[in-house]
């Protein structure tokens, strides 16, 4: 026990204290990451109008794809790093970190090049109309420059948290967001740069965060990095990718949902009194508002990840179950607050993003209340999918990540409007949430029972030895 205490408190510190110390900085970091888009949306709504908001909504899938790359590498390498530390395999831990950093830079550059080459076709696929396209192209041409920076910053943030530096992880994101928030009104209103000013403010903030993040490469506490660790090794890259796959695919699924949702809203909106642009603009506001709630839940989940991975690697199964249950309980408290805001104060929330006519607010309020009706249970699915990734059971994590978005939500978005028109799109979300919740509690119940058996066997084995 003394040796464990000397090496890492994840194996012995009280679970509530650990989750608080890791989750709070992670929540702040995730909220800050969401604020990049939220702040842009608010200032663009005030300074450009709802067409500007619709443009950022059309461009948003490019950001979710970027985050999926960051999570693939960041969460995957953090889980691999923590599992190796728990099993006292420091060389493997260092190899995971070195390969992950090389992957971040390589994937970031490749993604930027692809956006620049295929920008207009991508924006068309994401649902841009002729009126929205000029705004979307201006905004995305600039924000694409920050995509490689965002991948590295998010990836390093996860590794710093796993290394026992959650506050540093938070600071990287916080500084960039503050800069973005300060520069947005300056560029949009004072310099009259419009939507281009919002994009420029975003990448300046991302650059500062990036410079802070890469400074951590020389500051790892539990490993010493060498040049050989940065040489890409296919088996190691595959291990990292497998552990980050559930989080990454969940982000990609969100992107696919956004594409289907945008195009469905345009199609069925044109057949309704709302037209095409109003539903598209409202969708962006509702999705990004929900992203704030989801960011808090993901922050809790990411805060729990190194604790779960380390203790699973060390075969401390009681602590693994305990931290999972604590994370789920915390997410339920946050979800209740979100439910109250979305159901009882939707117009006040929507008004933050600019003005509109009566039809705009009518649809936006209805969209928020119906689409987000089941937010109370969403956190269980998110935390459970990340839980399976944290214990190295990537396939189950991937399945849970995809269950809501791909198995249920997308088919419902496509089918229900045939019967209920544009309202069918709104009702697709709560139905998908309920179905995904049922799948989640079935899988997680079996896993917790299995871990309880392993814990009992370990106790009996130790008793027999003594």
pLDDT at 230: 93
Residue 271 has pLDDT above 90, yes or no: no
| 382/379 Cα distance (integer angstroms) | 5
Residue 4 has pLDDT above 60, yes or no: no
pLDDT at 162: 86
Residue 294 has pLDDT above 90, yes or no: no
126 neighbors 266 (Cβ within 8 angstroms): no
Domain for residue 465, yes or no?
A: no
Boundary residue ending a domain (174, 201, 232):
232
Same domain, 123 and 180: yes
Domain for residue 5, yes or no?
A: no
86 neighbors 262 (Cβ within 8 angstroms): no
pLDDT tens for residues 426-454? 999 999 999 999 999 999 999 999 888 88
Same domain, 199 and 174: yes
Residue 18 has pLDDT above 80, yes or no: yes
Same domain, 174 and 206: yes
Look up residue 145 and give its two tokens: 């420059």
Boundary residue ending a domain (208, 232, 256):
232
Same domain, 147 and 264: no
Q: Closest Cα to residue 182, out of 170, 197, 195?
A: 197
pLDDT at 466: 63
Domain for residue 3, yes or no?
A: no
| 387/393 Cα distance (integer angstroms) | 9
Boundary residue ending a domain (200, 232, 264):
232
Same domain, 257 and 221: no
pLDDT at 273: 87
Most confident of 1-15, 137-151, 396-410, 452-466: 137-151
Same domain, 205 and 58: yes
In the chain, what is the greatest distance between 2 CA atoms, to the nearest angstrom?
76
The mean pLDDT of 213-237, rounded to a whole number, is 91
Residue 5 has pLDDT above 70, yes or no: no
pLDDT at 329: 94
Same domain, 224 and 101: yes
Count the domains in the chain: 2
Residue 457 has pLDDT above 60, yes or no: yes
The mean pLDDT of 271-292, rounded to a whole number, is 83
Same domain, 228 and 357: no
Domain for residue 357, yes or no?
A: yes
Same domain, 210 and 287: no
Q: What pTM was computed for the model?
A: 0.74
Q: Closest Cα to residue 376, out of 340, 322, 347?
A: 340
Look up residue 284 and give its two tokens: 């962006």
Q: Closest Cα to residue 149, out of 123, 120, 175, 186?
A: 175
Domain for residue 237, yes or no?
A: no
Question: Which residue segment(s) compose the domain that 95 sits in?
Answer: 20-232
Same domain, 296 and 354: yes
Domain for residue 384, yes or no?
A: yes
pLDDT at 1: 38
Domain for residue 9, yes or no?
A: no
pLDDT at 3: 41
Domain for residue 238, yes or no?
A: no
Same domain, 216 and 322: no
pLDDT tens for residues 61-111? 888 889 889 989 998 898 899 888 888 888 999 999 999 999 999 999 999
Same domain, 352 and 215: no
- Nearest 5°: phi and psi at 415? -90, -50
In which band, very low, low, confident or very high, does the pLDDT at 2 lie, cut at 50, 70 and 90?
Answer: very low
296 neighbors 26 (Cβ within 8 angstroms): no
DSSP state of 186: I
């Amino acid at each position: 026990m003394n040796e464990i205490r000397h090496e890492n408190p994840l194996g012995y510190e009280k679970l509530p204290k650990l989750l608080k110390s890791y989750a709070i900085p992670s929540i702040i970091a995730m909220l800050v990451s969401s604020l990049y888009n939220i702040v842009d949306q608010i200032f663009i709504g005030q300074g450009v109008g709802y067409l500007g908001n619709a443009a950022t909504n059309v461009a948003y899938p490019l950001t979710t794809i970027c985050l999926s790359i960051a999570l693939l590498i960041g969460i995957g390498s953090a889980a691999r790093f923590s599992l190796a530390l728990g099993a006292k395999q420091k060389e493997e831990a260092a190899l995971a970190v070195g390969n992950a950093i090389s992957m971040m830079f390589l994937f970031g550059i490749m993604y930027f090049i692809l956006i620049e080459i295929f920008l207009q076709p991508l924006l068309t696929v994401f649902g841009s109309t002729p009126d929205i396209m000029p705004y979307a192209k201006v905004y995305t041409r600039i924000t694409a420059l920050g995509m490689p920076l965002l991948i590295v910053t998010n990836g390093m943030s996860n590794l710093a948290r796993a290394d026992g530096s959650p506050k540093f992880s938070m600071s990287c994101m916080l500084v960039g967001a503050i800069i973005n928030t300060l520069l947005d009104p300056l560029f949009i209103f004072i310099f009259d740069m419009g939507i281009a000013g919002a994009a420029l403010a975003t990448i300046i903030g991302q650059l500062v965060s990036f410079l802070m993040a890469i400074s951590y490469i020389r500051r790892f506490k539990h490993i010493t990095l060498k040049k050989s660790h940065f040489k890409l090794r296919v088996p190691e890259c595959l291990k990292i990718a497998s552990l980050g796959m559930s989080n990454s695919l969940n982000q990609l699924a969100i992107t696919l949902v956004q594409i289907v949702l945008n195009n469905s809203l345009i199609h069925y909106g044109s057949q309704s009194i709302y037209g095409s642009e109003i539903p598209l603009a409202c969708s962006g506001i509702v999705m990004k508002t929900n992203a704030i709630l989801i960011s808090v839940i993901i922050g809790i989940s990411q805060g729990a990840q190194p604790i779960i991975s380390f203790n699973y690697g060390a075969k401390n199964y009681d602590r693994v179950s305990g931290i999972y249950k604590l994370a789920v309980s915390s997410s339920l408290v946050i979800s209740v607050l979100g439910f109250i805001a979305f159901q009882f104060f939707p117009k006040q929330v929507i008004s933050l993003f600019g003005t509109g006519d009566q039809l705009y607010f009518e649809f936006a309020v209805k969209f928020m209340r119906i689409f987000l009706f089941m937010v109370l249970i969403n956190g269980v699915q998110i935390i459970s999918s990340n839980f399976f990734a944290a214990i190295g059971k990537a396939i189950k994590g991937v399945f849970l990540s995809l269950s809501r978005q791909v198995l249920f939500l997308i088919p419902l978005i496509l089918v229900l409007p045939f019967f209920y028109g544009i309202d069918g799109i709104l009702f697709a979300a709560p139905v998908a949430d309920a179905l995904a919740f049922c799948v989640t509690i079935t899988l997680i119940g079996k896993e917790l029972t299995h871990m309880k058996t392993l814990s009992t066997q370990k106790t009996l084995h130790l008793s027999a030895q003594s």
